[in-house]
Structure 1
Amino acid sequence: MLNSMEMISIYENVAEITDRMLDAAKSADWDLLTELEMTCYTKVQEIKNKDTELDLPLDIKNRKIAIIKKILADDKEIRNITEPWMLQLSKLMKNSESNRKLSQSYGAN
């Protein structure tokens, strides 16, 4: 079992990763964003497996809450950046698939 400071350190690490993810999303570095997402997922799983319902001192509890709020804010901003891009990509893929089917059905001109 981890003590409260070790657990806070893991939360802070996740916050650092989501901050880097946000930078990657802002610069449209999708490869880096994907790599960081996998790293973040691993750290979140670590939190899920190790975080216990410790009776945290108020200052540590407030710090944990602030870190979680930052992670959630970063996540929201990342989604605001990536969702329109994903929608556009989905439309392009759909159009490409439609064009391929038309080409197969009626032959390329």
Structure 2
Amino acid sequence: MNTQLLSYYEAIEQASADMLNAARSGNWDEVVKLEGACVLLISQLKHAASRDQLAPEEAKLKTRIMQRILLNDAEIRHLAEPWLEDLDRVMSGKSKMVH
């Protein structure tokens, strides 16, 4: 059993759940911070996966973890849409004031 690889997937899942909780509370600074942690974990996972691979039963668990990560990501994106639209409006307004 390759617990190291699975632990990376689980850590990424936990970070994505934390990102979702931060997004639900409107704490976008925390979302961005956690996103950076995810990028680092994914990089470490890629490196570890180049050396090791999962057994078939572990691959099934990985698939379930990935599905939960994707669901978290979809909800974060949905929650971010109004915030991104507001940011776009603010940036558009600032560029008009500068010119």
TM-score (norm 1): 0.81
- 1:50 Cα deviation (Å)? 1.3
AA matched with 1:56: A
1:71 counterpart residue number: 69
- SS of the equivalent of 2:53 reads coil
Pick one of 43, 47, 50 that aligns with 1:49: 47
Please list every run of at least 4 consecutive aligned residues from structure 1 whose deviation after the TM superposition is greater than 4 angstroms: none
The 8 Å contact of residues 16 and 69 in structure 2, kept in 1 or not, is answered as yes
Q: Report sequence identity in percent.
A: 29
Larger radius of gyration: 1
Under a length normalisation based on structure 2, what TM-score does the superposition of the two structures give? 0.89
Could you report, residue by residue, the CA deviation over 1:10-59 in whole angstroms, capped at 9, with x for unpaired residues? 1001000000000001111111111111111100111111114625132x
Q: Which runs of 5+ in 2 are unaligned?
A: none
Structure-1 separation of matches of 2:67 and 2:90: 35
Q: Distance in 2 between matches of 1:30 and 1:54?
A: 35
Unaligned runs of 5+ in 1: 102-109
| RMSD over aligned Cα atoms | 1.6
Which deviates the most, 80-89 or 64-73?
80-89
Letter of the 1:70 partner, please give it.
R
Query: 2:21: which partner in 1?
Result: 23
